[in-house]
């Protein structure tokens, strides 16, 4: 496959063109402005929003690590994302160019979106839901999913979006943890060209012998039209309820710290964490970063973020950031290779997409498919590209730059997390001279460091000592806690460098000799599979839940396409017969049922023993060596060196 790397000399750094820089939303002065007075800088960014009542204090950090931003201010998040654009005369501007997987399309203007959100809000109120109640949203990428999130925001309900690829048991644990009163879902979803049931998974999650105690209703949008099981009284069709509700609704203002959403993400234990985000600070940073990092021009750009609303990227860069900035965006329901590998490029060409934001794993997949596919399309509308979710390897960066970007588009490699709520480290596209593979520098208003175990800053360009990425100043979109478990919140993020008061991100990183930030990946037991976080403990506990399994150890092994791939080592219970492929298939299915297809291990090795230290700790490093086919590292602390041979046998 020809890449720029083989055709042209490799550039060390890519400055923005003079043309791009001249028209960019953000210039170098943003950094100095933020440095000279951080609070004033954030107050100015907050003023990009509409406040029903102004705030009287930018930041209250007196109860650290729980921040209060824009204290005393009141706003309505949905009003900021929809109503104010209509009131300003942009009701006819397209908000969403929606593309369904089977090829159906819908166009929603800001007026259409306002009407849909208002109807939904009216009906949710009619159901008796009140500010502070939680609503679970388990839906494919259709406009009603976005409208549901905005209707919750409008009413002060806290939404918990659960990725529709998660299993019913993953859905159930999230519903129970949040004590959601309502679940919004669809009859089914299209996946790789075929309809698949979704409401059935909700029934499995909340019905049966042990119904979910908190759930009062299930609101169902018809998407695939397939037959759907129904529980009269509990289940409600969207088209018989929401669509008949009034489209007039006045948004009420909520406190800046009112809870906006919970989003569950994997930690180092088997139990996902409900990350809590609130309103004013979150929206300020989502909106600010979307405006400057993507250089977005309302009414001119056509923006496309390829994430799913089940992940934080969908929350911040499909829903809240873009809509608050009056974006016209593409929302695509399906997979990139349905009906064929041209899908994304066709969409870019047909809609004249100017800003495209995706994950490195997809770029590597495009590379594998071959450049003749994008080359068959006119992609000249693109003017800015972005990536998120995992480190991007320089070769994929250059390919993205030259093949999709025609060599003219800046690339913003954006580092952030579910917990940070919005982008933290990224180039500013009109300013930064980008190095392929580096997220470059903290954004104006954000302060971070890279430190060693003793909290000492790691020197620039130090080759040996990689450090930990920490954030040393509070930021507006920071998480406000873990739902129902403030102790875990403190332990996970704030105890590692408690004395210094640093937020511990869980990522390893280094500064190069020029001070550019290179994020190296997780330093904990969290894997990154195609940019999605999955904990080793979650997969291990799913495997141990299978009758045949006595013990398991899971690691993330390097994978050329997905970044990391899940590899499991499994010890069978005594007396269980190893049926080989059949058993492995069954184990993979168990994980898929328990968590979701994204957590299915790529490889499962049945082994007689696991390598353990004398203190009984599994030596994951050795397992990684085995899985990646490397020479084994130091085995001197291993209690039984013979285990290594048996592991190799297991392969
Ligand atoms: O390890 C980092 C990686 O993804 C983790 C956060 O995952 P999640 O909360 O699911 O959010 C993903 C989308 C924001 C981080 O701890 N990560 C994310 N972006 C990058 C990255 N690693 C390197 N470079 C990035 N640009």
Residue whose CB lies within 8 A of the most ligand 1 atoms, among 263, 416, 493, for a mutation test: 416
pLDDT for the residue 2: 40
- The structure tokens listed for 220 are 């169902």
Predicted confidence (pLDDT) at residue 271 exceeds the cutoff of 90: no
Is residue 422 a part of any domain in this protein? no
How far apart CA 557 and CA 560 sit, in angstroms, is 10
pLDDT for the residue 208: 84
Tell me the per-residue pLDDT of 495-547, one tens digit each, with 9 for 90 and over: 999 999 999 999 999 999 999 999 999 998 899 999 899 999 999 999 999 99
pLDDT for the residue 364: 95
Tell me the per-residue pLDDT of 34-70, one tens digit each, with 9 for 90 and over: 999 999 999 999 999 999 999 999 999 999 999 999 9
CA atoms within 13 A on the CB side of 388: 29
Is residue 589 a part of any domain in this protein? yes
pLDDT for the residue 641: 64
Predicted confidence (pLDDT) at residue 175 exceeds the cutoff of 70: yes
pLDDT for the residue 635: 66
Average pLDDT of span 237-254: 98
Question: Is any ligand 1 atom within 6 A of the Cβ of residue 322?
Answer: no
Question: Is any ligand 1 atom within 6 A of the Cβ of residue 424?
Answer: no
Give 415's strand partners. Answer: 425
The answer to whether 138 and 183 are in contact (CB under 8 A) is yes
Question: Is any ligand 1 atom within 6 A of the Cβ of residue 415?
Answer: yes
Average pLDDT of span 244-259: 98
Predicted confidence (pLDDT) at residue 419 exceeds the cutoff of 70: yes
* Torsion 133-180-256-307 (CA) sign: negative
Is residue 619 a part of any domain in this protein? yes
Atom of ligand 1 nearest to the CA of 307: 13
In this prediction, residue 191 has a pLDDT band, given cuts at 50, 70 and 90, of confident
Predicted confidence (pLDDT) at residue 4 exceeds the cutoff of 50: no
User: Cα(429) to centroid of ligand 1, in Å?
Assistant: 19
Average pLDDT of span 278-293: 99
Average pLDDT of span 446-473: 91
Question: Is any ligand 1 atom within 6 A of the Cβ of residue 272?
Answer: no
CA atoms within 13 A on the CB side of 193: 6
**459 φ, ψ (degrees, to nearest 5):** -65, 150
Give the CA angle between residues 505, 509, 511 to the nearest 5°.
Answer: 130
Q: DSSP secondary structure string, 180-205? A: -SEEEEESEEEETTEEEESHHHHHHH
The answer to whether 221 and 139 are in contact (CB under 8 A) is yes
pLDDT for the residue 464: 64
Residue whose CB lies within 8 A of the most ligand 1 atoms, among 261, 311, 411, 417, for a mutation test: 417
Buried b or exposed e, range 390-406, using 16+ CB within 10 angstroms: bbbbebbbbbbbbbbbe
Atom of ligand 1 nearest to the CA of 426: 26
DSSP state of 525: S
- For the chain, the average pLDDT equals 94
Is residue 575 a part of any domain in this protein? yes
Give residue 173's Cα distance to chain centre.
19
Is residue 593 a part of any domain in this protein? yes
- The structure tokens listed for 275 are 């990350």
Count of structural domains, the chain: 1
Predicted confidence (pLDDT) at residue 267 exceeds the cutoff of 90: no
Least confident of 85-94, 331-340, 494-503, 519-528: 519-528
Residue 286, H or E segment: helix 280-293
Predicted confidence (pLDDT) at residue 575 exceeds the cutoff of 50: yes
pLDDT for the residue 1: 37
Pairing of strands 182-186, 158-161: unpaired
Nearest CA to ligand 1 atom 13: 389
Nearest CA to ligand 1 atom 6: 417
**572 φ, ψ (degrees, to nearest 5):** -85, 155
Is 0.75 topped by the overall pTM? yes
Nearest CA to ligand 1 atom 7: 417
DSSP state of 265: E
- The structure tokens listed for 485 are 């478990």
The residue written with tokens 């300020």 in the block is 284
Average pLDDT of span 110-118: 98
Provide the 10 A C-beta neighbour count for residue 3: 15
Predicted confidence (pLDDT) at residue 465 exceeds the cutoff of 80: no
DSSP state of 457: B
Atom of ligand 1 nearest to the CA of 526: 1
Average pLDDT of span 138-142: 98
User: Cα(118) to centroid of ligand 1, in Å?
Assistant: 34
User: Left if phi > 0, otherwise alpha if psi is -120 to 50, otherwise beta: which for 352?
Assistant: left
Is residue 576 a part of any domain in this protein? yes
Is residue 585 a part of any domain in this protein? yes
Which of 44, 64, 65 shows the shortest CA–CA distance to 55? 44
How far apart CA 308 and CA 318 sit, in angstroms, is 8
Atom of ligand 1 nearest to the CA of 519: 23
409's CB contacts (< 8 A; 6+ apart) are 382, 383, 384, 385, 401
Is residue 518 a part of any domain in this protein? no
Cis peptide before 498 (omega within 30 of 0): no
* Enclosing domain of residue 613: 530-651
Residue 622, CA distances (Å) to 324, 533, 538, 631, 634 in order: 48, 22, 20, 9, 8
Nearest CA to ligand 1 atom 18: 389
Average pLDDT of span 361-366: 96
The CATH number for 632's domain is 3.30.300.30
Write a three-state SS string for 527-556.
EEECCEEEEHHHHHHHHHCCCCEEEEEEEE
Beta strand segments in 100-201, E: 105-109, 134-138, 158-161, 182-186, 188-191, 194-197
Atom of ligand 1 nearest to the CA of 522: 1
pLDDT for the residue 24: 98
Atom of ligand 1 nearest to the CA of 387: 26
């Amino acid at each position: 496959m020809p890449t720029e790397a083989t055709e042209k000399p490799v550039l060390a750094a890519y400055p923005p063109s003079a043309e791009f820089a001249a028209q960019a939303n953000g210039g170098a002065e943003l950094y100095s402005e933020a440095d000279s007075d951080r609070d004033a800088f954030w107050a100015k960014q907050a003023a990009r929003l509409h406040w029903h009542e102004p705030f009287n204090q930018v930041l209250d950090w007196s109860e650290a690590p729980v921040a209060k931003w824009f204290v005393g201010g009141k706003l309505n998040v949905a009003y900021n994302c929809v109503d104010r654009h209509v009131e300003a005369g942009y009701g006819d501007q397209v908000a969403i160019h929606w593309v369904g997987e089977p090829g159906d399309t819908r166009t929603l203007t800001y007026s259409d979106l306002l009407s849909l959100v208002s109807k939904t809000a009216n009906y949710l109120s009619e159901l008796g839901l009140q500010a502070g109640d939680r609503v679970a949203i388990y839906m494919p990428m259709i406009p009603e999913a976005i409208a549901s999130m905005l209707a919750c925001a409008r009413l002060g309900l806290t939404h918990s979006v659960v990725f529709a690829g998660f299993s019913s048991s993953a859905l159930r644990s999230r519903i129970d943890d949040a004590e959601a009163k309502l679940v919004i879902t669809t009859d089914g979803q299209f996946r790789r060209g075929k309809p698949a049931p979704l409401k059935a998974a909700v029934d499995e999650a909340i019905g049966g012998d042990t119904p979910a105690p908190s759930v009062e209703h299930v609101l169902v949008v018809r998407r695939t039209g397939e037959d759907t099981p129904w529980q009269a009284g509990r289940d409600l069709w969207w088209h018989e309820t929401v669509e008949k509700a009034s489209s007039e609704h006045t948004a009420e203002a909520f406190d800046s710290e009112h809870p906006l959403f919970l989003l569950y993400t994997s930690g180092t234990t088997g139990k996902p964490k409900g990350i809590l985000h609130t309103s004013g600070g979150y929206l300020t940073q989502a909106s600010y970063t979307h405006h400057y990092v993507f250089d977005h021009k309302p009414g001119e750009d056509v923006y496309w973020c390829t994430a799913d609303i089940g992940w934080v990227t969908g929350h911040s860069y499909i829903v809240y950031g873009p809509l608050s900035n009056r974006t016209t965006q593409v929302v695509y329901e399906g997979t990139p290779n349905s009906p064929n590998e041209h899908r994304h490029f066709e969409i870019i060409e047909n809609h004249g997409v100017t800003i495209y934001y995706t994950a490195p794993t997809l770029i590597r997949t495009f590379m594998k498919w071959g450049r003749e596919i994008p080359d068959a399309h006119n992609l000249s509308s693109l003017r800015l590209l972005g990536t998120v979710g995992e480190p991007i390897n320089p070769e994929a960066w250059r390919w993205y730059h030259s093949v999709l970007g025609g060599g003219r588009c800046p690339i913003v490699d954006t580092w952030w997390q579910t917990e940070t709520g919005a982008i933290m480290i990224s180039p500013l596209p009109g300013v930064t001279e980008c190095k392929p593979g580096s997220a470059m520098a903290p954004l104006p208003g954000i302060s971070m460091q890279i430190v060693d175990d003793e909290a000492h800053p790691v020197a620039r360009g130090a080759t040996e000592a990689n450090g930990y990425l920490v954030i040393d100043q509070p930021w507006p979109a920071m998480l406000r806690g873990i739902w129902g478990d403030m102790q875990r919140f403190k332990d996970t993020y704030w105890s590692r460098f408690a004395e210094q008061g640093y937020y511990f991100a869980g990522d390893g990183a280094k500064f190069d000799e020029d001070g550019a930030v290179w994020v190296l990946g997780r330093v904990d037991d969290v894997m990154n599979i195609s940019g999605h976080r999955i904990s080793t403990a979650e997969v291990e506990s799913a495997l141990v839940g299978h009758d045949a399994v006595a013990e398991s150890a899971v690691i993330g092994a390097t994978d050329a396409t997905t970044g990391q791939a899940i590899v499991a080592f499994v010890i069978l219970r005594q007396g269980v017969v190893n049926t080989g492929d059949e058993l492995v298939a069954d184990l993979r299915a168990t994980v898929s049922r328990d968590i979701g297809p994204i957590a299915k291990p790529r490889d499962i090795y049945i082994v007689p023993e696991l390598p353990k230290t004398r203190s009984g700790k599994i030596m994951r490093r050795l397992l990684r060596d085995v899985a990646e086919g490397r020479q084994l590292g130091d085995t001197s602390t291993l209690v039984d060196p013979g285990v290594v041979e048996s592991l190799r046998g297991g392969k």
